[in-house]
Amino acid sequence: MSRSYYQGIYPVKNIDKYLGDPKKCEYRSGWERKVFKMLDENPKVLGWGAEPFAVPYLSPKDNKVHRYFPDIIVVADNNGVQVTTLIEIKPLKETMLPKKQGKKKDRYIYEVMTYHVNKSKWKSAKALCDSKGWTFKIMTEKEINP
């Protein structure tokens, strides 16, 4: 199967709502593409953008500061109140500590480390959002494909 379905440039329809260069609205998964389409077509969405900026975080892997690019920023009208949400799209299984269950040791260690790195990224993103009065949300296939 070709990976072209899972990655590409999303053709933004409502260019005035896109926060950034609409010619560079890149999706990295089918789920991202689906969310982009929902945001683009939702009249309550005032603005949205993909990978809007870098959030510094301390990686537990090497104890160094790295840069994390959240998937989406959304500015929406919530009954007359403007709300901003930073969104990360992840498979549900990657939002939970992995279970060993017969996995090879190297694979299990990799998954555990990835989980802890992601938690560090999300902690930094949430702190940034809290400081700005925004919301941080992790979307999984449960919200995207109800």
Percent of the chain topping pLDDT 70? 96
Burial 21-36 (b: 16+ CB within 10 A, else e): ebeebebebebbbebb
Return mean pLDDT, the chain: 93
pLDDT of residue 90: 95
For 21, the token pair is 């260069």
pLDDT of residue 146: 73
The arithmetic mean of pLDDT across residues 81-88, rounded, is 98
The arithmetic mean of pLDDT across residues 58-68, rounded, is 97
Backbone angles phi, psi at 142, to 5 degrees: -65, -40
In three-state secondary structure terms, 50 is strand
For 109, the token pair is 């260690």
Q: How far is CA 125 from CA 106, 140, 143, in A?
A: 29, 17, 20
pLDDT of residue 102: 75
Classify 18 in phi/psi space as left (phi over 0), alpha (psi -120 to 50) or beta: beta
93/124: higher pLDDT: 124
CATH topology of domain 3-144: Trna Endonuclease; Chain: A, domain 1 (3.40.1350)
pTM: 0.90
List, for residues 103-136, the tens digit of each pLDDT value. 788 889 999 999 999 999 999 999 999 999 999 9
Amino acid at 107: R
Cβ atoms of residues 83 and 76 within 8 Å = yes
